[in-house]
Structure formats: structure tokens, C-alpha cells
Amino acid sequence: MAERHVSMAQHTSWRVGGPAEYYCKPGSRDELIECLQSVGAGVPIHFIGRGSNLLVRDGGVAAALIAVHDALTDFEELGDGRIYAGAGLACALVARRCVRNRLGPAEFFAGIPGTVGGALTMNAGAFGGETWNQVESVEVINRQGEVTVRYPDEYQVAYREVSLIEPREEWFIGGTFRFTENYDTSPEKVKALVNQRKESQPLGLPSCGSVFRNPPGDHAARLIEAAGLKGHVIGGAVVSDKHANFIINTGTATAADIENLIKHVQATVKREFDVELVREVHIIGEAA
């Protein structure tokens, strides 16, 4: 089922990256289990959605990358303000479906560019909301294909960070979320938030979304702009003129260009303001 040596430039939102040793795109939960069971015991596994928030280095990655955005797209209303959403479902769809059914607060999901699995993994948030504030339980799967239900008290959850208190090798495949019923919101509000994103962020261009976490009491974009880095170029990578916390592939960037620009931004902000910018984006693989 898994393909060998697949370029990740085809499967990441930055449109860069060397080959993955194994790449698997299951079409169902059964195929996902088959894929997991076929991966050798010593081979690292990474779950990805549509490849946002991920930079694969140019030399590729000696691992199995499993794209779940076709396999885990369930959405189910469970009653009492609760819904189930699969890890491969786009967060924007969660927002629209919840708002349509007057469940909230859910409109913030419209501001998260990735899938539910990624939102669970990093406690993604937007417009003042965060994923794990709404989590009732999660489903996870291990390398053997065994599914377990876990609860928030089994995790340490912080700003853009989630980890099991007792670490295990497993991955999110879905979650049950609890919202308030008859919530006072509307599709127009979601549309307004989406339009706000379009006006303030360089959507439609190859990027990963926000590159850095906001430091306490401040915004990464403000610091980067104040450091004079808007429009700064390394190779084919540029700090967006529209939103300084976005790095754009202008069409010729390599993963090395992007990583070097990330490091340059961090070093400059540290020198100018003595603030350590922490990456949101995950970087995997080897340099070319």
C-alpha cells in the first residue's frame, strides 16, 4: 500500500521537500490499519493531513508519512452539543457544520488552515479560541492498529503544545468535542472571520500558515515587522509583506531556503528585542 521515495513537494503546503522513504494515503480506517501494520518496527511514523505546518528538508525523511485526509473525514452529531470529527476533516468544515447547527463556540475553527488531527496535535487556535477547550475525548491509534479512547486529563495541554502525561507511540484519529447548544452565532460571522483572514494573511500562496508561536503578551508578526524583516528574502523564500508571521515560497524556494529564513528571523528578533521566537511549524528530515 505504501509508495516508496515520494517527493513531499507534492504533499506539503510549502511545495518543497525531499522524498519520504514511505508515503501512504489510505482511503479508509481499515486501509489505515493495514498501512500502520505494514510499516517496519524501526521505521518512524508521522501522520500528516494536507501538509500544512510541516517542512520536510531537501534530503528527505527516512520515515513513513501517512496522509489521513481521505481516510478520517467522519462528522457526526452526537446530541447534547457534542460532535465527533475525524482527524482528516478540515477545521473549516467543522466550523461551518457546527455554526449551521448553532453549536459553539466553533467559529474559531474557520481560522485554522489544517485538519482536526493537526489541531489536536498542537492545540491549534484562532480568533481567541483553542481546540482543546472543546475536547471531551479523543481517539488514538497505535502502530499495531489498536484504537483507544483517551481523555483530556491524560494530556498536558498548553499554548500550541499537547503531550501525553505517560508517553506512548500513538496518533490522533478523531475527537469528540462538546459545544453549547443554541449558540448565538451565524454563518455570516464565520464568513466575516474568513474574510478577515483573507484580508490580513497571504492565503493562496505556498506557505505553512503561522511560522512562530506568539510570545507571551505580544505577537510574533509585530516583532518580525518591527525588526524590519517584512519582505526579507533568502533564495526563493520571503517573509510576507502582508503578514510577517508567514513565509512564502515564491516558486523557487528549497526547504533549506525556508529553514535558513526561519533561523534568520529568530536570530534577528532575539538580537533586536531579546525575545526567543518558538516555531509552530514542525521540521523533519535531513538536509540535502
Catalytic residue numbers?
A: 160, 210, 280
Question: How many residues are given for the chain?
Answer: 288
Detail the DSSP E strand segments found in 8-142: 19-24, 45-48, 54-56, 61-67, 75-79, 82-86, 103-104, 125-126, 129-130, 135-142
SS (H, E, C) 219-240: CHHHHHHHCCCCCCEECCEEEC
Which residues on adjacent β-strands are paired with residue 55? 283
Would strands 3-7 and 54-56 be described as parallel, antiparallel, or unpaired?
A: unpaired
CB 87 within 8 A of CB 141: no
How many angstroms separate the CA atoms of 210 and 61, rounded?
23
How many angstroms separate the CA atoms of 147 and 26, rounded?
16
How many angstroms separate the CA atoms of 75 and 55, rounded?
29
Strand, coil or helix: 87: coil
**Sole residue written with cell 511545495:** 15
176's enclosing H/E stretch is: strand 170-178
CB 166 within 8 A of CB 154: yes
Which residues on adjacent β-strands are paired with residue 113? none
**In the sheet where 135-142 sits, what is the strand order?**
75-79, 82-86, 170-178, 135-142, 147-150
For residue 167, is the peptide bond before it cis, meaning its omega torsion is within 30 degrees of 0? no
